[in-house]
Amino acid sequence: MESCVMDLPVHSDPLKGSLSVIESNIQIPFEIRRVFYIYGAQKNVRRGGHAHYKTRQALIAISGSCKVSLDNTKRKENVVLDSPSSMLILEPDDWHEMYDFSEDCVLLVLASHYYDEQDYIRRYQDFCEVYS
């Protein structure tokens, strides 16, 4: 599978605001095992800089915006996350970096696996050897 941006369903009311729903194996194509969020990142800081062997993730800019660079050795692209109704499904075979954070950015990440340091590929050269 390839990483892709998906729209989340939005239920809006002029007085009550908007609500988006995220359910395991429905809007997100995996069971959610871990949730974390990034906030307070400076605009010139890059986060991530790794890939995974098995963990899939869903990234949502709940507030503000950021960019995500993706590289699976066959294609490179940059994705802008700037809406809480849009999410990036990030596959394990994408080397990814988050950057250009707005001051108010809160980036929510839903992961398919619990944290396991052995699941991380932290050197780009090793990543290219695994996924080329």
CB-count exposure of residue 129 (10 Å: 0-12, 13-18, 19+): exposed
Helices (H) and strands (E) in the chain — how many of each? 1, 12
Tell me the C-alpha distance between 72 and 132, whole Å.
8
The answer to whether the CB of 21 falls within 8 A of the CB of 9 is yes
- What string of DSSP letters covers 64-80? S-EEEEEE-SS-EEEEE
Active-site option among 11, 50, 52, 96: 50
Q: Is 40 left (phi over 0), alpha (psi -120 to 50) or beta?
A: left
To the query of whether residue 50 is one of the catalytic residues in this protein, the response is yes
- Catalytic site residues? 50
